[in-house]
């Protein structure tokens, strides 16, 4: 029986089952593809060849910026320090982002605008920061309705 000789309701049902199969297969493939971990790179990755062209005692601040690009940031308390940070982060499906690799290059410039030293820190020698999952507690944050009313009354009496 050809498709032309098939009754109309059978052709519609056949088409409906075909489209449903394609849709289910597409959703399944999208779901399977989204289960992988996400990898992201941040910062400026410094090549060893670029780093080899910079010499301590003769390279200037302008030489460093020209070869490596703008630094990630400059020292807040010492503007003669340039920091280049690069990190490789992985986020598993349904998990939290973790840093797999972090490298921090710190270039110290002396008063004559010459490179004095290059320091290297990785994720193990860097400072670990504790993140608070919830909001930061503040005074008055845990007051109930009655406590808030009485504190407002006390405040208005003190202002008079």
Per the model's pLDDT, the better-predicted residue between 110 and 101 turns out to be 110
Domain ranges, ordered by start, for the chain: 1-35, 36-125
Distance of CA 80 to the CA centre of its chain: 27
What is the average pLDDT across 132-156? 68
Whole-number Cα distances in Å, 20 to 10, 12, 29, 63 = 15, 12, 14, 62
pLDDT at 120: 84
Give this prediction's pTM. 0.55
Task: State the first-to-last Cα distance of the chain, in angstroms, to the nearest integer.
Answer: 96
- In whole angstroms, give the CA distance from residue 85 to residue 71: 8
Match domain 36-125 to its CATH number in 3.40.50, 3.30.1450, 1.10.10, 3.30.1330: 3.30.1450
- In whole angstroms, give the CA distance from residue 67 to residue 55: 12
- In whole angstroms, give the CA distance from residue 117 to residue 57: 8
pLDDT category of residue 116 using cuts at 50, 70 and 90: very high
């Amino acid at each position: 029986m050809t498709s032309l000789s098939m009754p109309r309701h059978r052709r519609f049902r056949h088409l409906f089952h075909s489209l449903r199969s394609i849709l289910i297969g597409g959703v399944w493939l999208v779901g399977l593809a989204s289960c992988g971990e996400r990898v992201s790179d941040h910062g400026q990755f410094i090549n060893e060849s670029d780093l080899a062209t910079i010499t301590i005692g003769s390279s200037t601040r302008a030489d460093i910026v020209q070869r490596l690009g703008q630094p990630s940031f400059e020292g807040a308390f010492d503007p003669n320090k340039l920091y280049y940070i690069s990190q490789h982060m992985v986020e598993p499906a349904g998990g939290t982002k973790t840093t797999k690799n972090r490298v921090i290059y710190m270039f110290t410039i002396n008063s004559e605008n010459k490179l004095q030293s290059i320091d290297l820190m990785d994720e193990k020698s860097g400072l670990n920061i504790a993140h608070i999952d919830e909001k930061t507690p503040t005074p008055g944050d845990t007051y109930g309705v009655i406590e808030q009313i009485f504190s407002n009354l006390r405040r208005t009496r003190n202002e008079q």
